């Protein structure tokens, strides 16, 4: 993926409204990566620097370029209110009207909701995994019992009987 990413950075090097860059999360970029929650490599993030999103698309140059052209650049936010619709403008005004403490509390509450959603998902996946393992064991035991109960021998007897009939003809 590195060659495709380097080509993408070169493609947008002169752009004034899109930034495509990289950080070495094992060296000088480690504090930035830690702050953004980067846990594996390579990780691609995009969007508002204060609210980066995880990129989930293709990793070849064409997919990356298409995504960059369609999704990167100025977006609605406190610094680009002119790009917002009326509902987004009202939301920005609501948050701008909050004190720093109120905003911190709202952020903490929302992040708690994200954490709860992730924990709920992980717990459900764990239950599914246990169920899957139980079903696999049951299936494997049933198959072993059927095969151990003479299925192979039945097929051999049938095949031998079919061969004997052909020889009679």
Task: Answer whether residue 23 is part of any domain.
Answer: yes
Q: Are residues 106 and 67 in the same domain?
A: no
Q: Are residues 42 and 102 in the same domain?
A: no
Burial zone of 8 (CB within 10 Å; 0-12 exposed, 13-18 middle, 19+ buried): buried
CA dist., res. 53 & res. 45, Å (int): 5
Do 44 and 99 contact (CB within 8 A), yes or no? no
Q: Are residues 9 and 56 in the same domain?
A: yes
Task: Answer whether residue 27 is part of any domain.
Answer: yes
- CA 95, 101, 102, 106 dihedral sign is positive
When pLDDT is averaged across residues 102-117 and rounded to a whole number, the result is 95
Q: Percent of the chain scored above 70 by pLDDT? A: 97
In the block, residue with structure tokens 């702050």? 35
Locate 120 and state its tokens.
């709920």
Do 35 and 41 contact (CB within 8 A), yes or no? no
| Number of domains making up the chain | 2
Q: How many residues does the chain have?
A: 169
Do 53 and 40 contact (CB within 8 A), yes or no? no
Q: Are residues 107 and 149 in the same domain?
A: yes
In this structure, what CATH number is given to the domain that contains residue 16? 3.40.30.10
List pLDDT tens digits, range 59-107: 999 999 998 888 888 888 898 899 999 999 999 999 999 999 999 999 9
List pLDDT tens digits, range 117-148: 999 999 999 999 999 999 999 999 999 999 99
Which residues neighbour 84 within 8 Å (Cβ) at sequence distance 6 or greater? 76, 77, 92
Q: Are residues 7 and 53 in the same domain?
A: yes
Task: Answer whether residue 13 is part of any domain.
Answer: yes
Task: Answer whether residue 81 is part of any domain.
Answer: no
Q: Are residues 107 and 156 in the same domain?
A: yes
Q: Are residues 128 and 162 in the same domain?
A: yes
Task: Answer whether residue 91 is part of any domain.
Answer: no
In the block, residue with structure tokens 């509902």? 87
Q: Are residues 70 and 18 in the same domain?
A: yes
- The parent domain of residue 24 ranges over 2-76
Burial zone of 133 (CB within 10 Å; 0-12 exposed, 13-18 middle, 19+ buried): exposed
Task: Answer whether residue 56 is part of any domain.
Answer: yes
């Amino acid at each position: 993926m590195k060659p495709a990413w380097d080509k993408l950075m070169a493609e947008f090097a002169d752009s004034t409204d899109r930034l495509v860059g990289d950080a070495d999360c094992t060296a000088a970029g480690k504090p930035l990566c830690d702050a953004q929650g980067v846990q594996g490599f390579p990780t691609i993030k995009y969007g508002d620097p204060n609210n980066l999103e995880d990129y989930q698309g293709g990793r070849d140059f064409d997919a990356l370029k298409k995504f960059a052209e369609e999704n990167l650049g100025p977006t609605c936010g406190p610094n680009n209110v002119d790009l917002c619709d009326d509902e987004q403008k009202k939301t920005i005004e609501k948050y701008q009207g909050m004190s720093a403490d109120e905003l911190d509390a709202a952020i903490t509450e929302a992040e708690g909701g994200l954490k709860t959603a992730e924990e709920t998902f992980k717990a459900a996946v764990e239950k599914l995994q246990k169920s899957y393992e139980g079903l696999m064991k049951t299936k494997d035991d049933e198959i072993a019992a059927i095969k151990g109960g003479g299925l192979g021998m039945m097929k051999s007897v049938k095949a031998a009987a079919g061969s004997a009939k052909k020889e009679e003809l």
